Structure 1
Amino acid sequence: MDKDIAIDLLKLIDESFKDKNSKSEILRRDIELLKSGKATYKEVNDLAIEVGQNLSHSINEFVTAKSLPNEKMYFNISNRLMNHTLKNNYDIVTGYASDVQNQLNQVANLHLKAQVPDFNQEKVKGLVERLTAAETFDDIKWILDEPLVTFTQSIVDDSIQKNVEFQAKAGLQPRITRTVVGKPCDWCKNLAGSYSYNKAPDDIYRRHERCRCVVDYNPGDGRKQNVWTKDWK
């Protein structure tokens, strides 16, 4: 019986990933800001980028054409690799995002629990299918770089969207802000701005590869608006 290399690869990747995270100044700073009650979704986004990059570096450290059978990423390997590592990133990011959200709710005098988005299995499935479909690993290895960072950032965007929609349905008036970073493209420039929930662009939570835009939001002051009378209380 052929050796199951996925087990050994995942062990090596996990060890490298944990080591990189433990030595990260960015993650250490984000944790300290959370402890002091000063973390926002900007820190959640920074954490997601760092975790995504650390994962990409750890995977590329051990997953190479030579480490794979016939220099190809077969389904049984890609499926376990992507689901295991990206679910781990999901747990890290949603855990931190929930803590930040609960603090924001408390500051806004909202007695609401942070909402957690579902793990986006469809996106993972898409990555697995593309890795598996390639003739050789070298043809598709780029997908283990920036796309993993973008996926991890999308967890932040999903977290914001989940909480914004939940609070809007509760009668609150959350405000969403998208800020460009670096040298943005025209598409990102057009999305930049601060919006009330019902006036936000449809693409406010979307991002392209290598996009570093920051999506943030303010839950408001805890007041609710009666949808019929428009009175605040």
Structure 2
Amino acid sequence: MDKDIIPELLKSIDEKFKNDNAKSAVIKSVVKKLKSGMATYEDVNKLAIEIGTNSSKAINEFVTADVLPDGKMYFNISDRLMNHTLKNNYDVVSGYAEDVQKQLNEKANLHLKAQIPNFNQEKVKGIVERLTNAEKFDDINWILNEPLVTFTQSIVDDSIQKNVEFQSKTGLKPKITRRLIGNACDWCKNLAGTYSYKEAPNDIYRRHERCRCIVSYDPGDGRKQNVWTKEWVDPKKIEAIEKRKTLNLKKK
């Protein structure tokens, strides 16, 4: 009977993953911002990129054609490997996103529960199938690089979507805007614009590898909020402040 290589592989991968995370300046920074109450979804995205990168590095260090039976990624190996490592990524990123959302809701005086997205099993299944269907691991090992980072970033997008949808159900009427950043591709250009919540394209929260588009939304009561940075702007309050300034000048 062939030896089950997965337990030892996962142990080595987890150890490197944890060590790299512990030494990461990026992770230390976003944790510090959370503790200070200043974290935003921009920090969640930074965390996701770092977690995805570290998990990819750990997998690539220990998973090679030499250690795989016949140099092939069989289903029983790819399924356990991807579900284990990507679930770890999900736990870290979704947990941080939940804590950030709680703080942002409190700051915005929204007495709403932070929503947590489900672990996207379908995306994991897709990665597992591509790894398994390749004749040789070396033909498909590229999928263990940037695609794993993109998967981890998608946890952030799923969190954003889950919370926006939940807030709309509470009576808020968000208008969602997707703004282009940098040299955007045609796919992103087709998504750019402002939409009512119900008319927004299905892909408005999605992004491809290295996409830096910014999504924001208006809850419908005059307050505008950047979905990823969660910075609120209330035009009515700004107007009131400006009026008070004018009155003070007249008195003087």
Which ranges in structure 1 are unaligned for 5 or more consecutive residues?
A: 224-233
CA contact (8 A) 2:98 2:116 kept: yes
Give secondary structure in 2 for the equivalent of 1:203: coil
Which ranges in structure 2 are unaligned for 5 or more consecutive residues?
A: 224-252
The answer to whether structure 1 residue 9 and structure 2 residue 20 are counterparts is: no
Aligned-pair CA distance for 1:110:
1.4
Aligned counterpart, 1:202: 202
Deviations 1:100-159 (A, max 9, x none): 100111011111111111111111111111101110000110110111011111111111
Aligned counterpart, 2:108: 108
Aligned counterpart, 1:78: 78
The alignment covers a number of residue pairs equal to 223
For the structure 1 residues 100 and 221, does the alpha-carbon distance in structure 2 shift closer, same or farther, using more than 3 Å as the test? farther
Higher relative contact order (CA 8 A, sep 6+): 1
Q: Determine which structure has more spread, i.e. the larger CA radius of gyration.
A: 2
CA contact (8 A) 1:179 1:214 kept: yes
Aligned-pair CA distance for 1:30:
0.8
In 1, Cα distance between equivalents of 2:132 and 2:215: 33
Aligned-pair CA distance for 1:69:
1.0
Aligned-pair CA distance for 1:196:
5.0
Aligned counterpart, 1:229: none
Identical columns (%)? 73
Deviations 1:191-219 (A, max 9, x none): 34565534533321112233343545576
The one-letter code matched in structure 1 to 2:153 is: Q
In 2, Cα distance between equivalents of 1:62 and 1:17: 11
CA contact (8 A) 1:56 1:148 kept: yes
For the structure 1 residues 147 and 216, does the alpha-carbon distance in structure 2 shift closer, same or farther, using more than 3 Å as the test? farther
Aligned-pair CA distance for 1:182:
4.7
Aligned-pair CA distance for 1:25:
1.0
Give secondary structure in 1 for the equivalent of 2:140: helix
CA contact (8 A) 1:108 1:219 kept: no
For the structure 1 residues 107 and 78, does the alpha-carbon distance in structure 2 shift closer, same or farther, using more than 3 Å as the test? same
Report 1:83-232 matches (<5 A): 83-174=83-174, 176-192=176-192, 196-215=196-215
TM-score (norm 1): 0.87
Deviates more, 1:51-60 or 1:193-202: 193-202
For the structure 1 residues 199 and 131, does the alpha-carbon distance in structure 2 shift closer, same or farther, using more than 3 Å as the test? same
TM-score (norm 2): 0.81
In 2, Cα distance between equivalents of 1:81 and 1:197: 38
For the structure 1 residues 173 and 214, does the alpha-carbon distance in structure 2 shift closer, same or farther, using more than 3 Å as the test? same
Give secondary structure in 1 for the equivalent of 2:55: helix
Give secondary structure in 1 for the equivalent of 2:16: helix
For the structure 1 residues 146 and 162, does the alpha-carbon distance in structure 2 shift closer, same or farther, using more than 3 Å as the test? same
The answer to whether structure 1 residue 44 and structure 2 residue 44 are counterparts is: yes
For the structure 1 residues 49 and 182, does the alpha-carbon distance in structure 2 shift closer, same or farther, using more than 3 Å as the test? farther
